[in-house]
Amino acid sequence: MAENRNILSMTGITKTFPGVLALDDVDFSLRKGEVHGLMGENGAGKSTLIKVLTGVEQPDAGIIELDGRSVHVRSPQHSQELGISTVYQEVNLCTNISVAENIVLGHEPHRFGVLAWKKMNALASQALKRLEIDIDVAQPLGNYSLAIQQMVAIARSLEFTSAKILILDEPTSSLDVNETNLLFDVVRKLKSEGLGIIFITHFLDQIYRIADRITVLRNGKLVDTYDTASLPRVELIAKMLGRSMTDLDAVSKSKVEHEQKASGECLLEAKGLGLKGSLEPVELALRVNEVLGLAGLLGSGRTELAGLLFGVDTPDSGSLTLSGKTIQRFSPLESLKNGIALCPEDRKAEGIVGELTIRENIILALQARYGWFKFLSAEKQNEIAQKYIQLLGIVTPSSEQLAKNLSGGNQQKLILARWLATNPQVLILDEPTRGIDVGAKAEIQKLVLDLAAQGKSCVFISSELEEVLRISHRIVVMRDHKKAAEYSGDVNDQTIMQTMAGNL
């Protein structure tokens, strides 16, 4: 049972990156002998908060206290010296050397100037014994499962520090059910020893199994901290997604008008489409003149499905047909040639090329489809750029402005312009309105419905449930990397959230 004494208090933590307020006056506390779940969708601020705590980033404002004493965490090494240990999603160990070598790396015992193997193996065995893990530490780490590698990482993080706090960042993302159970046994044992554990995951079932309290972040702000037992799953989902009360009646009106134009003709159809370890086989049909919404929490399989539909990944089961013709080759370039476009989730990493001009960004995908030996003329490039700058209302003094100088909302419109310029039959939009203001959001939603009315078909993915409900003619709910249910566009939000939570 967790004690009520805080071993960690973070108060008023604020962190700004160029153009982004990543953390806005966030409070967080951790008790001795507690597992504290940190929840939120992508961009909520979880990673930034952990980076501040571990000294990777320095806060612009706020106070960190350990055992009631104010500290300034200067670096990751300093955080370890303060008793804060972190085990990340990707196990950062060397699989080609022994378990013992991994555990004592940097702290190897020597005798008469020679590595003392016997003592090293004994130290490693003792470290794992604390976790109730009994394996041959002389064997290469790569001989063992991911779960055991995770235990070794935990043992290493605890062995040579007087750890008070253990941070587990998505530790179960690559583990199966039995391996996850093994990890949870270890977590409970460490908790009983008085360790404070911060547990970050997108698996709701797991957070309810292991966490005593849950803190929810959204858009860089603290929503609140709750006792797990008193927070129903549906309420947790609602708090993570947020409930926008903005007036988007014009979008709702467009949806009603456009529903009358939707036809029953199937344009894109997936039958048993899947990829082992990424997405369970999915049945999906996208009709002409339709916006098909994909709802689900982070890690539910939404983005993985988008990747298969666009050919980012090649499925190992099922089939995909476009206008009745089976797609044989899966690649983004092949998809472009087939009239399928994807506006990616991460516009900075996968979308915008900041050092190119607006014009160059807009014609990028179209030029790739034509091939680099069939260049678009400068006149044609300018014509296309001006068309979509005007159509989408991109605010810029010139098409020759560098893309990195645009606001977030205008950058998002710029990516849309790039894919619209290819004149796709199917437009897949993964989080197209994330991080932009309400006005730009409404404009993009309205544009998507207009495109559908003009004969395009759109797959619309968003973490904001209200947005999915507002814009979609049909909604597919994803959960645990598979399709959980399919509803008409007039389904209510409670049904969707219940399905996302696994209650339906």
Do 95 and 145 lie in a common domain? yes
- Counting residues of the chain whose pLDDT is more than 90, the rounded percentage is 35
Report yes or no on 266 lying in a domain.
yes
Report yes or no on 200 lying in a domain.
yes
Report yes or no on 444 lying in a domain.
no
Mean pLDDT for 19-27 is 89
Residue pair 309/428 in contact (Cβ under 8 Å)? The answer is yes
Do 296 and 267 lie in a common domain? yes
Among 37-46, 108-117, 267-276, 435-444, the minimum mean pLDDT is found in 435-444
Report yes or no on 18 lying in a domain.
yes
Do 284 and 319 lie in a common domain? yes
Assign residue 303 the CATH number of its domain.
3.40.50.300
- Domain boundary (402, 423, 444) is at 423
| Residue-level pLDDT at 234 | 79
Query: pLDDT per residue over 350-398, tens digit each?
Result: 577 878 899 998 988 888 877 767 788 888 899 999 988 887 778 788 8
Mean pLDDT for 493-503 is 87
Do 72 and 126 lie in a common domain? yes
Burial class from Cβ neighbours inside 10 Å (0-12, 13-18, 19+) for residue 27 reads middle
Do 282 and 400 lie in a common domain? no
- Counting residues of the chain whose pLDDT is more than 70, the rounded percentage is 88
Query: pLDDT per residue over 216-259, tens digit each?
Result: 998 899 999 999 999 988 788 778 877 543 434 555 555 555 55
Mean pLDDT for 1-19 is 84
Report yes or no on 377 lying in a domain.
yes
Do 254 and 395 lie in a common domain? no
Residue 88 has pLDDT above 60, yes or no: yes
Mean pLDDT for 388-409 is 81
Mean pLDDT for 183-198 is 91
CA 492 to each of CA 265, 466, 487: distance values in angstroms, whole numbers, following the listed order: 26, 10, 10
| Residue-level pLDDT at 75 | 94
Q: Which tops the pLDDT comparison, 495 or 503? A: 495
Do 134 and 282 lie in a common domain? no
Structural domain count, the chain: 3
What gap in Å lies between CA 253 and CA 292, rounded to an integer?
17
Report yes or no on 471 lying in a domain.
yes
| Residue-level pLDDT at 79 | 92
Residue with tokens 């006005």: 439
Do 351 and 365 lie in a common domain? yes
- Domain boundary (403, 423, 443) is at 423
Q: Which tops the pLDDT comparison, 102 or 66? A: 66
Kindly report the average pLDDT of the chain as a whole number: 85
In the structure encoding, which two tokens stand for residue 70, read together?
């104010």
Q: Which tops the pLDDT comparison, 96 or 257? A: 96
Residue 444 has pLDDT above 80, yes or no: no
Report yes or no on 441 lying in a domain.
no
Band of residue 294 on the pLDDT scale cut at 50, 70, 90: very high
Q: What's the predicted TM-score (pTM) here?
A: 0.58
Task: Report the run of H or E that residue 213 belongs to, with start and end.
Answer: strand 213-218
Q: What is the DSSP string of 249-285?
A: HHHHHHHHHHHTT--S-EEEEEEEEEETTTEEEEEEE
| Residue-level pLDDT at 247 | 39
- Domain boundary (206, 241, 276) is at 241
Its domain, for residue 491, covers: 244-339+425-434+452-504
Report yes or no on 447 lying in a domain.
no
Do 181 and 324 lie in a common domain? no
In the structure encoding, which two tokens stand for residue 128, read together?
């794992």
Compute the radius of gyration of the chain from its Cα atoms.
Answer: 25
| Residue-level pLDDT at 244 | 42
Burial class from Cβ neighbours inside 10 Å (0-12, 13-18, 19+) for residue 489 reads buried
| Residue-level pLDDT at 475 | 95
Residue 262 has pLDDT above 60, yes or no: no
Mean pLDDT for 96-102 is 88
Select from 348, 358, 353 the least CA-distant residue to 401: 358
Burial class from Cβ neighbours inside 10 Å (0-12, 13-18, 19+) for residue 245 reads exposed
What gap in Å lies between CA 493 and CA 402, rounded to an integer?
40
Do 330 and 187 lie in a common domain? no
Query: pLDDT per residue over 295-340, tens digit each?
Result: 988 788 998 999 999 999 999 999 999 998 999 999 988 988 898 9
Do 31 and 157 lie in a common domain? yes
Which residues, other chains included, contact 406 with Cβ-Cβ below 8 Å and sequence gap of 6+?
358, 394, 395, 396, 414
Q: Which tops the pLDDT comparison, 268 or 265? A: 268
Residue 69 has pLDDT above 90, yes or no: yes
Query: pLDDT per residue over 206-218, tens digit each?
Result: 899 999 999 999 8
| Residue-level pLDDT at 349 | 56
Q: Which tops the pLDDT comparison, 32 or 367? A: 32
| Residue-level pLDDT at 9 | 96
Do 198 and 316 lie in a common domain? no
Mean pLDDT for 437-461 is 80
Residue pair 315/330 in contact (Cβ under 8 Å)? The answer is yes
